[in-house]
Structure 1
Amino acid sequence: MPRTDGRILALDLGTSSARALVLSADASPVPGALARHKVAMAYGAQGEATLGLHDYVEGLLGCLDELQQNGHLEDIGHIVLSSQWHSIVGLSAGGEPLTPVIPWVDTRSVPVSVGPDFDERAFHARTGAWLHRLYWTRRIPWLRTVANASAFAGLPDLVLERLTSHRVSSVSIASGTGTLELASGQYDDEALAVAGVTAAQLPEIVPTGWTGVLSSAFERRWPALAGVPIHPPTGDGAASNVGTGAYDESTAAVTVGTSAAVRVVHPIEGAPDLPWELWRYRVDDKRAVTGMAFSAAGNLHAWLTAVLQLDAAHQEPTGVEIGSSRVIAVPFQAGTRPPETVPSGSGAYFGLSFDDTGADLLAASLLGASLEIDRGLRMLDTVFGHSLQVVLGGGGIDASGWWRRCLTATFARPTDVCAEAEVGARGAAAIALGLSPAPGGEHLEPPPADVERVAAMRPRYEALRGLAVQASAL
């Protein structure tokens, strides 16, 4: 039976902010019960992109202090966490951090050395990952070299350790490291060998039903939370899917935040074969999530509106019909995710003329991002053997009606919009407590004229996309 006693405290460990918010028993946000700590990423010329671990954790703890000061920590029955996937911190043998948090944005790693018998396609089918810098198989050898690290953990593992004194990981978070055997939910022997570590050097993987409680020092700091069960963290992609209402193989969730993704949640038992182009991670002990991620989404919109100096009234291309612009935008400003290898700085615009406006450029960019997401959706249709229903969610979806309509036309199928912007926190609560949230937002039908215009320009987009991929290799 779903456990819905008491309110829910959700901790959301994002890349641009750490947040704490209170949800009702049905995982709806309590008005006003939100505290946020903005996070500043430190960038460097050699591909560095890091987060300060101490400042991040202290900022999150400060969010709990703020909620307590405003009387929002009473009647909390559960504490849940949603977290960015793929982060890593190098630790000493005694567990002290030797590095800042290395998130997915950081491009540093080292090539791995594998023998002639290594079969990366079999490895990908087993782990859902590739030998790519996103994953610990390449991060760990690099951190052993540059920081002399001898143990490793992700940001959510260390946050959980700070709160409970237990350094453990969930099957969901561990799957994002690229070192998990998906079927068993344990570390993969070959992945460990490639990384050059043993399972003892990584956080212990605990089952979905595991719970901890606050350490005595934090119980004194937040007395209302004493003894409240703390559930293992969920990877933000899995949490976002479930939070939108896409929690089975009938429905794909398209989430648009800083980046974007299209994913399907399904049972891990009897999972369909995994195509080379898609990744697969775990949601919990019984479910997996298969999908494709994209590096350009809300960050693309924010960059272009800043470059074009568009004021608030012009940050949507409302005067441009979907698919009508002559301009083609290939949104590779932040490169591509694996298995493609297009580097950042590869964005391209084709067909510019002197009569194009900022609205034309913005419309072309949002359509280009929509077409990229549609590539993943079509692959997922094939994997699951039917045309998937689609739910749209996330901050980018919530902020742009034009983009919602553009995605619907590009997919050439109806979509439902998740009415709740806090899909990650909502999903983490739903996974931990056995809830089944519904999207609850508007239903969109694609206008035939929009669908026809997008379909007519799609071949040109694909051809120019191919040129952009070739140019990125020069």
Structure 2
Amino acid sequence: MPRSDGPVLALDLGTSSGRALVLDETATPVPGALARHKVQPVYGAQGEATLDLDGYVDGLLACIDELHAGGHLEHIQHIVLSSQWHSIVALDNSGKPLTPVIPWVDTRSIPPELPADFDERVFHARTGAYLHRLYWSRRIPWLRSVLGTSATAFAGLPDLVIERLTGERLTSVSVASGTGVLDLATGRYDAEALEIAGVSPSQLPSIVPSRWAGRLSPSYAMRWPSLVAVPVHPPTGDGAASNVGTGAYDESTAAVTIGTSAAVRVVHPIADAPELPWELWRYRVDDERAVTGMAFSAAGNMHAWLTGVLDLPSPEPEGVEVGSSRVIAIPFQAGTRPPETVPGGSGVYFGLSFDDTAADLLAASLQGTSLEIDRGLRMLDSLFGRELEVVLGGGGIHASSWWRRCLTATFGREAEVCSEAEVGARGAAAVALGLSPSAGGDRLVPDSADIERVARLRPRYESLRSLAAEASSV
């Protein structure tokens, strides 16, 4: 794998934590050089989910302080960022935040007024996004309806972190693509999306090319002297970074990543990209590449919640064979991503009986998530005209060997596990520095009996999924 010219400081801006870690010149995490600030979104009954901006940024800076105190920032040559997509903060005309960070999981927004000739499928093909509550085309009109004219500018969490570090409020083509108001082909804000949102480009962060590099402002250069003049690279959206970080950085390979949520994605050139199906989204990785895929809101979060609710002694559904549970679980606890409109609170179990155990319920939920991911994988197979190679990555993958076995049986193909847990940070470094990391982990071969059981289970799952989606959609 190509190497950088020295160690890299990676900042990973997640929904459940902010992290700072040091990677070596091959984008491999340096043992012991990681600091974490746990983050807990504040939830409300009306779909609210917010993060305290100052608390988040101060916690992230404290992580860098921790690495500095441990002597881990010596000889750092690059600073890279991986960040959650879709977040938004409303600002006043002096740049002061008027709201907390509103992350992807917040479900508040309003349908905007649309041009008379608006065609959402054409809009989707151009922006890779939908008129959905995730995106700024709906979030900005909603924030304006709440805040009035005081909201004069808008930015995402990574844009404000970059501004805090360098004094410049800007964004990358990758992060901007997650707002849903970017023209994917040109890499500039989309005129129709801006019209719908009711903003001008000057009210949003400037988009810089992937080769841009900033420098820490003087106060931080004094705080961390070893980082003086170290280039700060544009942030990469976490989904794109995770793909590259697992070793899935071209159109031959799909990455399945399971963290708080889950996704299946393929990285490919933006030039001559295949026509985007309605069911899939598309964002940018950098100036040259795009990433196409499908995301799922219930994954690692569901696993953690269920093991707690059921008071399970193990994160594994012990004693249950893959595909054998009579119970069918539809993992709609956090709703669905666009274009489906299933709201949060729609998770369903079908077929419960008095002899079902906690392990049966956990197995059914992990199986349901696996079948959801497989639905996206099969669409990507069709889009790219081949059965794709598969790599698995993320904390959820490392948390459960049963889930890994279930995924490979559901996919009906071999898969390679990424040996590195910090795929987002690794991928951000790889994107910024032109590295090509490999998965480097075990190769999993699905069990034929598991495959047969899942194949028998699939028609019942799909039928009940349709029923649950129809009953819950809004």
Conserved? CA contact 1:235–1:283, under 8 Å: yes
Q: Which residue of structure 1 aligns with residue 99 of structure 2?
A: 99
Partner of 2:365: 365
CA distance in 2, matches of 1:280, 1:473: 23
* 1:177 aligned residue: 179
Match of 1:413 in 2: 413
User: C-alpha offsets along residues 179-203 of structure 1, whole Å, 9 cap, x if unaligned?
Assistant: 0000000000000000001000000
Do the aligned partners of 2:43 and 2:49 also contact (CA within 8 Å) in 1? Answer: yes
> Per-residue deviation at 1:462?
0.5
Please give the secondary structure, in 2, of the residue aligned with 1:247: coil
Residue 455 of structure 1 and its aligned partner are, at CA, apart by 0.4
8 Å CA contact retained: 2:136, 2:180: yes
Give the residue type in structure 1 aligned to 2:350: F
**Equivalent residues of 1:394, 1:423 under 8 A apart:** yes
Question: Which residue of the partner structure matches residue 210 of structure 1?
Answer: 212
Q: Contact 1:317–1:402 at 8 Å: present in 2 too?
A: yes
Relative to structure 1, the CA distance from residue 3 to residue 448 in structure 2 (aligned partners, 3 Å threshold; closer, same or farther) is closer
* Corresponding residue of 1:32: 32
* 1:71-470 paired onto structure 2 within 5 Å: 71-147=71-147, 148-311=150-313, 314-470=314-470
The 8 Å contact of residues 416 and 439 in structure 1, kept in 2 or not, is answered as: yes
Do 1:256 and 1:394's aligned partners in 2 also have CA atoms closer than 8 Å?
Answer: yes
Instruction: Give the deviation of 1:473 after TM superposition.
Output: 4.0
Tell me, in whole angstroms, the C-alpha distance in 2 between the residues paired with 1:76 and 1:87. 29
How far residue 47 of structure 1 moved from its aligned partner, in angstroms, is 1.1
Inter-partner Cα distance in structure 2 for 1:11 and 1:85: 14
The Cα of 1:146 is off from its aligned counterpart by 1.3
SS of 2:249's partner is coil
Q: Deviations over 1:139-176 (max 9, x none)?
A: 11111221231100000000000000010100000000
CA distance in 2, matches of 1:441, 1:91: 44
CA RMSD of aligned residues (A): 1.0
For the Cα contact (< 8 Å) 2:416–2:442, is it kept in 1? yes
**Structure 2 Cα separation of the partners of residues 29 and 89 of structure 1:** 31
User: Aligned to 1:205, what secondary structure does the other structure show?
Assistant: strand
Change (3 A) 1:165 1:2: farther
Q: Quick check: 1:257–1:396 contact (8 Å CA) kept in 2?
A: yes
Partner Cα distance (1:364, 1:145) in 2 = 42
> What residue identity is the alignment partner of 1:290?
T
Superposed CA offset, 1:61-89 (max 9, x none): 00011111111110100000000000000
What is the CA distance between 1:110 and its match in structure 2? 1.2
Q: Deviations over 1:1-52 (max 9, x none)?
A: 9561110000000001111000000000000000011112111111110001
Query: Residue by residue, what CA displacement relative to the aligned partner does 1:264-312 show, whole Å, maximum 9, x if unpaired?
Result: 000000000000010000000000000000001001111111111112x
What is the alpha-carbon distance in structure 2 between the residues aligned to residue 298 and residue 436 of structure 1?
A: 27
Q: Given residue 188 of structure 2, which amino acid in structure 1 is its aligned partner?
A: Q
State the distance in 2 between where 1:386 and 1:67 align.
Answer: 44
CA–CA distance in structure 2, aligned partners of residues 472 and 401 of structure 1: 32
Distance 2:435 2:293 in 1: 22
Identity %: 75
TM-score of the superposition, structure 1-length normalised?
0.98
Look up the match of 1:15.
Answer: 15
CA distance in 2, matches of 1:20, 1:242: 19
Residues in 2 aligned to 1:395 and 1:125: alpha-carbon distance in whole angstroms: 32
- Tell me what 2:60 maps to: 60
Q: Bigger CA drift: 43-52 or 267-276?
A: 43-52
Q: CA deviation at 1:318?
A: 3.0
Secondary structure in 1 aligned to 2:265?
strand
Distance 2:46 2:349 in 1: 26
Equivalent residue letter for 1:232: P
Asked whether the equivalents of residues 115 and 196 of structure 2 are also in contact (C-alpha less than 8 Å), the reply is no
Structure 1 runs of 4+ with >6 Å offset: none
**8 Å CA contact retained: 1:2, 1:433:** no
1:108-150 deviation per Cα after TM superposition (whole angstroms, max 9, x unaligned): 1111111331011000000000001100001111112212311
Q: State the one-letter code of the partner of 1:134.
A: L
Q: Which stretch of structure 1 is more off in the superposition, 321-330 or 108-117?
A: 108-117
Q: Counterparts of 1:2 and 1:138 in 2: how far apart (Å)?
A: 41
Whole-angstrom distance in 2 between the partners of 1:410 and 1:247: 23
Is the Cα contact below 8 Å between 2:173 and 2:210 reproduced in 1?
Answer: yes
The AA in structure 2 aligned to 1:367 is Q
Q: Which amino acid aligns with 1:204?
A: S
Alignment partners' CA distance in 1, 2:139 and 2:302 = 27
| Residue segments in structure 2 that go unaligned for 5+ positions in a row | none
Give 5+ residue unaligned stretches, structure 1: none
Q: What is the alpha-carbon distance in structure 2 between the residues aligned to residue 334 and residue 369 of structure 1?
A: 12
Q: Aligned with 1:76: secondary structure? A: coil
Structure 1 residue 470 displacement after superposition = 2.0
- Alignment-mate amino acid for residue 156 of structure 1: P
Query: What is the alpha-carbon distance in structure 2 between the residues aligned to residue 446 and residue 310 of structure 1?
Result: 26
